Amino acid sequence: MASTKVDYAALGTKVLELVGGEKNINSLAHCATRLRFNLRDRDLAQTAEIEKLDGVITVMKSAGLYQVVIGNNVVSAYDAIMARTSLGAGEGSVAADEEGNKGSPLNRFIAMISGVFSPVVWTLAAVGLIKAFLALFTVGIPLLDTESQTYLILAALGDGLMFFLPIVLSVSAAKHFKVNYASSMAIAAFLQTTTISGMYEAGDPVHLFGIPVVMAPYSYSVFPIIVAIWVQSLIEPKLMKVIPSWMRNFTVPFIVIIVVALLTLLAIGPIITLATNLVAGALTWIWGPAPWLGGFIMGMFWQVFVMFGLHWGLSPIMINEIATTGHSLLFAALPSAVIAQCSAALAVSLRTKDQNLRQMALPTSIAGYFSGVTDPIVYGVNLPLKKPFFIGITAGGIGGAIAASGGSGATANVFASVLTLPAFLGVGNFALQLIGVAAAGISAFVVTFLFGMPKKGEATAAAAAVAPDLEPEASIIETRPADTKLVPADAQVVPANATVILPAEDAHTTDLVAAASGESMALSQVNDPVFSSGAMGQGVAIEPVDGNVYAPISGKVVTALDSGHAYGIKSDTGVEVLVHVGIDTVAMNGEGFTMHVHKGDAVQAGQPLVTFDRNAVAAAGYQDTVITIITHSGSFTTIEPMVGKHLTADELAVIVER
């Protein structure tokens, strides 16, 4: 590790120059140890010169990014670059670049939708749960009167976020497309005003400077605002470059808001409205001669219609049907479509080993069964994983065909869910409606459980896509001589020659620091076939210079053998690490090993795990190599050990990328 005398601000400026300057950078972000560049032309970057800079550990090219590994002081270098460029103007996210530059158009679209929804899926799940309880206590267990003020207040609590969803999504879309989120919110707020919604509801002709405007509904919508912010991303960066800096701050938002908001009103909204009318007309035409086919199409594509806002063209038709005939046949397929997505997510929650994914899939699927709200399920679980989503829509189509073939229909405009099935009692064959819903739910669950889970590692990546960004700034660690002891700042007894680690506010990271001081080497060089073959996972081995072994990552001790030679740690970011002291040292039965932690303890990176007597290990005829292994290495796209170097126990030892 570079010494504390390195001027990291100057280092950042030099790196900026060597990667080709601001003109060669699409975006820049940082994690705990790395500057992550998305470069326009990687060939312009002078990699060899960057690697020679004092303070740079290495350069990596992975996941579509050019990554300069600096270590704990990366923030200083990052701040220096941002202060000298306009790269921060968009409040951007590098995640968009990682996914946006690779894969098929479908994969890029799914990555974009998931990226936009990832900050809000948990909150969507929460309000969905509110709606589920309201449905339970009004339809299932009638304890609340739907006309009471209590119900109305609680219903507003459950509906508020969904009603203003375009404004919420404008912020996350701005981060994804790297534009100014305040301007994005202004555009969304314009579409949500009572003036615009009132003009739509009135149904009277609307003109803007004499141009006829086709009004559209924007409350609860998704696609119009995402398209609008995408258009903003095409305009705003160009304006930032051509408008002088002294007038840029107010002129750019002024132009962007006027142009994008009015373009959305004049073109984006009307185009979506036209599409919805075409879909609605086609379905209505099909339903007459072949209701089963209409039910199949409706059940299969309902979630797709919702994603693109096309359902708004169908909702008025269904509501009008109920008003004029007392029921709507188009409603028949909706419960199957909803239950199928819920069941697919439930199968994911029971099958996956990824804790983040399970925590998202289980509560959202249960809430969806009772509330009919599938947004957090679709955007947070099924769509990012792809297979469960497509299995769900296929199963929904099958169930919808069965339900519609019996002439089923709803007598009320309800959210399709388990609790609102009584709304289908009075029309058509209710038994076929139940059979259709059951067929959709069971088939979606079984097929997803057996065949719908992604290959190893993809589920973890999807969970990471919808989970909050947990990778913070690194801990502040003082440089010390190699023979000093390393102890946490909150230790009760601090030796005189110890250097204190100042823990970061949040020590979540995926990278590993060295578990011991000494010469690092590849696992293939370890004198044990279990470790050297890579069968247990990837990592790094260290020939220690002393008997002190430390935690390579912050987390919880899930394994601590009584022999003191092996420890399992699981970090909050899901990294599972095995620290193994010596080869065959289990035979020593703990002799010469002094444990400092036990199973269930929370540890910080750099905290002592065990002290062992190197002489005792040698006398017993064993090697004292300290081995660090990521036991589920297949869940990560990159594992890069720092081999062939002398590492001290606080230095970056393994770079880990999801």
User: Could you give the domains of the chain?
Assistant: 8-85 (3.30.1360.60), 288-467 (no CATH), 483-657 (2.70.70.10)
User: Which helix (H) or strand (E) covers residue 91, if one does?
Assistant: none
- C-alpha–C-alpha distance, residues 132 and 253, integer Å: 40
Phi, psi of 306, rounded to the nearest 5 degrees: -65, -40
pLDDT at 440 over 80: yes
Mean pLDDT, the chain, integer: 79
pLDDT at 461 over 70: no
Q: Which whole number is the average pLDDT over 239-265?
A: 91
- C-alpha–C-alpha distance, residues 108 and 419, integer Å: 36
Tokens 């069964």 correspond to 369
Tokens 């397929």 correspond to 333
- C-alpha–C-alpha distance, residues 656 and 575, integer Å: 9
Phi, psi of 31, rounded to the nearest 5 degrees: -120, -150
- Please report which residue ranges of 243-333 form alpha helices under DSSP H: 245-263, 269-287, 291-308, 315-325
Q: Of the ranges 82-96, 188-202, 388-402, 521-535, which one carries the lowest mean pLDDT score? A: 82-96
- C-alpha–C-alpha distance, residues 175 and 192, integer Å: 21
pLDDT at 584 over 80: no
Q: Which whole number is the average pLDDT over 140-163?
A: 85
Angle between helices 105-117 and 458-466 (to 10 degrees): 40
Residues in Cβ contact with 473 at an 8 Å cutoff, skipping those fewer than 6 apart: 32, 74, 75, 504
Residues in Cβ contact with 636 at an 8 Å cutoff, skipping those fewer than 6 apart: 457, 460, 510, 630, 656, 657, 658
Q: Which whole number is the average pLDDT over 245-273?
A: 89
Among candidates 7, 14, 95, 6, which has minimal Cα distance to 461? 95
Q: What is the pLDDT of residue 464?
A: 44
Tens of pLDDT along 476-514? 233 333 333 333 333 333 333 333 333 333 344 678 889
* Cβ count near 119 (within 10 Å): 18
pLDDT at 81 over 80: yes
- C-alpha–C-alpha distance, residues 581 and 603, integer Å: 18
Bridge partners (DSSP) listed for residue 37? 28, 66
pLDDT at 637 over 80: no
- C-alpha–C-alpha distance, residues 183 and 170, integer Å: 9
**Are residues 74 and 60 in contact, defined by beta-carbon separation less than 8 angstroms?**
no
> Which residues participate in catalysis according to the annotation?
31, 580
Bridge partners (DSSP) listed for residue 629? 539, 578
Tokens of 219: 């409350």
Sign (positive or negative) of CA dihedral 353, 357, 359, 365: negative
* Cβ count near 431 (within 10 Å): 10
Alpha-carbon distance values, 423 to 24, 211, 409 (Å):
59, 43, 8
Sign (positive or negative) of CA dihedral 90, 93, 96, 99: positive
Choice between 606 and 394, residue whose per-residue pLDDT is larger: 394
**Are residues 425 and 409 in contact, defined by beta-carbon separation less than 8 angstroms?**
no
Q: What is the pLDDT of residue 99?
A: 40
Among candidates 343, 309, 278, 359, which has minimal Cα distance to 165? 309
Q: What is the pLDDT of residue 439?
A: 97
Q: For the chain, percent helix, then strand, then coil, each to nearest 5?
A: 55, 15, 30
Q: Of the ranges 195-209, 276-290, 329-343, 349-363, which one carries the lowest mean pLDDT score? A: 276-290
pLDDT at 243 over 70: yes
Tokens of 498: 């110890």
- C-alpha–C-alpha distance, residues 433 and 112, integer Å: 35
* Cβ count near 31 (within 10 Å): 22
Among candidates 430, 443, 341, 346, which has minimal Cα distance to 393? 341
Q: What 8-state DSSP symbol labels residue 3?
A: -
**Are residues 391 and 108 in contact, defined by beta-carbon separation less than 8 angstroms?**
no
Among candidates 391, 388, 416, which has minimal Cα distance to 328? 416
* Cβ count near 478 (within 10 Å): 11
Among candidates 623, 654, 622, which has minimal Cα distance to 639? 654
pLDDT at 63 over 70: no
Q: What 8-state DSSP symbol labels residue 593?
A: E
- C-alpha–C-alpha distance, residues 377 and 365, integer Å: 6
Bridge partners (DSSP) listed for residue 488? 501
Amino acid sitting at position 295? G
| SS3 (DSSP) at 132 | helix
pLDDT at 460 over 70: no
- C-alpha–C-alpha distance, residues 499 and 314, integer Å: 67
Residues in Cβ contact with 633 at an 8 Å cutoff, skipping those fewer than 6 apart: 537, 538, 539, 639
**Are residues 383 and 113 in contact, defined by beta-carbon separation less than 8 angstroms?**
yes
118 band by pLDDT with thresholds 50, 70 and 90:
low
Q: What is the pLDDT of residue 71?
A: 64
Q: What is the pTM of this model?
A: 0.45
User: Which helix (H) or strand (E) covers residue 62, if one does?
Assistant: strand 58-62
Tens of pLDDT along 292-331? 998 999 999 998 887 765 665 566 567 556 655 667 888 8
